[in-house]
Amino acid sequence: MSSAETAYAMSTKTKLRLWLRLLKVTRSVENDIREKLRVEFDSTLPRFDVLAALYQFPKGLRMSELSGLLKVSNGNVTGIVDRLVKDGLIIRTPVPGDRRALRVRLTKRGEEEFALQAAAHEQWIDDLLSDVSMNEAENMISSFDRILVELHGTKSEEA
């Protein structure tokens, strides 16, 4: 094996290790947040994600915009939206001029409820990552931003 091959193999193993750590950290934090949403707000992570997306778009989003933003399937969003509508946190309204489409937006109650959840969520994350220094966080953020460009770049090159 040449030294180039050796270096390549090392890098492969290191990347695999990186991925496994990334996964472990993410799952650990996710499990924590999931549990807290369940206990403190009787809610779930997918519901939180939908509310968070709609909170950013007060005028609402079409179902397809919502699923595109969250990077989940259309059919998936349908079910979550159904339940949020039933709970009175969001509403579906027709889109004038296109009878196929529906716009979804937060109700007053949904907005108030999400504001509470978002504040708690921010604090949970601050606590969970309390050990991370500002400097370290910023370094990781820029690493991730470059990785994300690569991940999406690869994808769009394929298309």
Partner DNA sequence: CAAAAATATTTTAAGCTTGAAATATAATAA
Partner DNA sequence: TTATTATATTTCAAGCTTAAAATATTTTTG
CA 6 to centroid of chain Cα atoms = 37
- The nearer residue to DNA, 62 or 105, going by C-beta atoms, is 62
Contact residue for its own copies among 6, 15, 68, 78 (CB under 8 A): 15
Residue 63 binds which entry of its own copies, DNA, none, CB below 5-8 Å type-dependent? DNA
DSSP per residue over 72-132, as a string?
S-HHHHHHHHHHHHHTTSEEEEEETTEEEEEEEEE-HHHHHHHHHHHHHHHHHHHHHTTTS
- The nearer residue to DNA, 98 or 136, going by C-beta atoms, is 98
- The nearer residue to DNA, 42 or 131, going by C-beta atoms, is 42
- 42 contacts DNA (rule: CB under 7 A): no
Contact residue for DNA among 72, 91, 118, 128 (CB under 7 A): 72
Contact residue for DNA among 13, 19, 22, 79 (CB under 7 A): 79
Q: Residues with Cβ < 8 Å from 119, sequence gap 6 or more?
A: none
- 73 contacts DNA (rule: CB under 7 A): yes
Long-range contacts from 142-146, C-beta under 8 angstroms, 24+ separation = none
Residue 6 binds which entry of its own copies, DNA, none, CB below 5-8 Å type-dependent? none
- 134 contacts its own copies (rule: CB under 8 A): yes
Measure the CA dihedral 81/68/146/132, to 10°: 0
